[in-house]
């Protein structure tokens, strides 16, 4: 059977992680069609050829458009800075290629709208697309969603989410494209905050109605590796309260200045019948509280999410042998390939990515107006 050819655009951190997922997915999951790591694209032909050799791609070229439009490419995976997502994705979709695009979907609502429109048009021709909110594929979070939908928490009252990192805590940390609004779209709000906004909708199956926000930039300029000084034009931290459409109250915090926190995604959901808690730094565990139990014995209990009946775990290791960061990307690749094979739309799609972009815009609008409650348009 002819393999599905993959073109990956971008070979930095996310490109390396996605490469690992494409190398692995067919070795652990049964696939309707095998995949082929056909071509890696970047901006520097020499560098991308070296990266292709290192990461297992058949070829490396310095022109993303040439890679996307090749006849032997069926899936385009976009791992570039946000300012190029829209052009690459729309080009690929209009050429009939399935698309996986890293988050946040774009740098603006207008770009995300154009991408979502292209995805809807392509869907009519059987072309699939997915936004790369990979934490949905962490087994413990997939289990949390199942428990919420089964009513184990009753009516959800509150949602608390924090995504904390500290890689910018040092004021001498170097300047990068992630600190340039024109390339990244937003700072901590878009980079990590977009993940917890998406997880709120994923876990509760409920969009945000509106937000009240504050943003902060703690270091106003940084020096690039070449010695040039650059203004930081994005936020370093974002804090906002919100309401879901159901009425549930929510708090969100995203920071790249949280000293000691490397990749802490901390979530808690409180409902009328119980609660769930999760921390990515213990990613194979989910804490569950059943409020219907007698008070004398009730308490949070630890669920070790490694059983074969838990989401995604049937193809991996014996119970108690935990998974790591990379495995969620393999699950993501498998879910996209399953949607392509079955003719169904994988989640999250580009409309979900557009929703997150609208929340980001509402947060920035609220912060600019001193925290005024701001509706999320189109939610």
Q: Measuring CA to CA, how many Å separate 185 from each of 21, 77, 152, 163, 366?
A: 26, 20, 38, 18, 16
Residue 110 has pLDDT above 90, yes or no: yes
pLDDT over 80 at 379, yes or no: no
- Percentage with pLDDT > 70 across the chain: 100
Give the model confidence (pLDDT) of 288-345 as tens digits.
999 999 999 999 999 999 999 999 999 999 999 999 999 999 999 999 999 999 999 9
- The whole-number average pLDDT for the span 40-67 is 97
Is pLDDT at 84 greater than 80 in this prediction?
yes
Please check the confidence at residue 115 and state whether its pLDDT lies above 80. Answer: yes
Q: How does DSSP assign 147-186, residue by residue?
A: HHHTTTT-SEEEEEEEEE--TT-STTSPP-GGG-HHHHSS
Which class in CATH covers the domain with range 136-346+356-368? alpha beta
* CATH superfamily of this structure's domain 4-135: NAD(P)-binding Rossmann-like Domain (3.40.50.720)
Beta bridge partners of 269: 159, 276
Calculate the CA 213 to chain-centre distance. 21
Domain ranges of the chain: 4-135, 136-346+356-368
Decide if 4-135 and 136-346+356-368 have a common fold: no
**Run of H or E residues at 356:** helix 350-368
Kindly report, residue by residue over 140-171, the tens digit of the pLDDT.
999 999 999 999 999 999 999 999 999 999 99
Give SS3 for 280.
helix
The share of the chain scoring above pLDDT 90, in percent, equals 99
């Amino acid at each position: 059977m002819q393999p599905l050819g993959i073109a990956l655009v971008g070979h930095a951190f996310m490109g390396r992680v996605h490469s690992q997922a494409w190398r692995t997915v067919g070795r652990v999951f049964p696939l309707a069609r095998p995949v082929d790591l056909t071509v890696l694209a970047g901006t520097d032909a020499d560098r991308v050829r070296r990266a292709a050799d290192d990461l297992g791609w058949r070829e490396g070229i310095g022109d993303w458009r040439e890679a996307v439009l090749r006849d032997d490419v069926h899936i385009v995976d976009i791992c570039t800075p946000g300012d190029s997502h829209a052009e690459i994705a729309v080009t690929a979709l209009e050429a009939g290629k399935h698309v996986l695009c890293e988050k946040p979907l774009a740098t603006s609502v207008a770009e995300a709208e154009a991408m979502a429109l292209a995805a809807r048009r392509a869907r009519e021709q059987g072309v699939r697309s997915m936004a790369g909110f990979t934490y949905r594929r962490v087994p413990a979070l997939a289990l949390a969603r199942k428990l919420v939908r089964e009513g184990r928490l009753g009516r959800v009252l509150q949602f608390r989410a924090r995504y904390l990192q500290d890689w910018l805590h040092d004021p001498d940390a170097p300047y990068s494209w992630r600190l340039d609004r024109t390339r990244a779209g937003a700072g901590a709000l878009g980079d990590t905050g977009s993940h917890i906004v998406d997880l709120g909708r994923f876990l509760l199956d409920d969009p945000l109605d509106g937000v009240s926000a504050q943003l902060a930039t703690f270091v106003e300029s940084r020096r690039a590796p070449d010695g040039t000084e650059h203004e930081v034009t994005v936020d370093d931290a974002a804090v906002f309260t919100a309401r879901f459409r159901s009425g549930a109250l929510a708090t969100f915090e995203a920071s790249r200045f949280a000293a000691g926190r490397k990749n802490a995604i901390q979530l808690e959901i409180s409902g009328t019948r119980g609660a769930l808690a999760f921390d990515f730094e213990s990613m194979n565990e989910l804490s569950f509280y059943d409020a219907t139990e007698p008070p004398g014995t009730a308490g949070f209990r630890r669920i070790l999410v490694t059983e074969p009946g838990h989401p995604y775990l049937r193809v991996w290791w014996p119970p108690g042998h935990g998974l790591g960061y990379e495995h969620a990307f393999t699950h993501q690749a498998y879910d996209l390939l399953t949607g392509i094979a079955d003719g169904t739309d994988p989640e999250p799609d580009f409309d979900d990515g557009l929703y997150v972009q609208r929340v980001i815009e509402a947060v920035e609008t609220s912060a600019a107006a001193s925290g005024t409650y701001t509706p999320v348009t189109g939610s």
